[in-house]
Amino acid sequence: MNRVAANKMTLVIRLLSIFVAALILGGCTKGMSDLRNWVALEKAKKGQPIQPLPVIKTFETFKYDDQDRRDPFSPSTVEMQTTDAGTAGPRPDAGRAKQPLEMFALDSLRMVGTVGVGANMEVLIKDPGGVIHRVHSGEYMGQNYGHITAISEDHIDLVELVSNGNGGWMERPASIALAAQ
Per-residue pLDDT of the chain (181 residues; tens, 9 = 90+): 578 788 888 998 999 999 888 877 776 666 677 888 889 999 888 888 888 989 988 888 877 777 777 777 777 676 666 555 556 678 888 888 899 999 999 999 999 988 888 778 899 999 999 999 999 999 999 999 999 999 988 899 999 998 887 778 888 999 999 887 6
Q: Identify the pLDDT of residue 135.
A: 92
pTM, to two decimals: 0.51
Q: How far apart are CA 90 and CA 169, in angstroms?
A: 6
Half-sphere exposure of 159 (CA within 13 A, CB side): 10
Name the H helices within the chain.
Answer: 2-30, 32-44, 77-86
Fold observed for domain 54-90+99-181: SH3 type barrels. (2.30.30)
Residue 110 · residue 149 · CB < 8 Å: no
pLDDT of the residue at 84? 56
On whether the CB atoms of residues 148 and 155 are closer than 8 A, the answer is: no
What are the angstrom distances between the C-alpha of 54 and each of 51, 98, 168?
A: 9, 66, 55
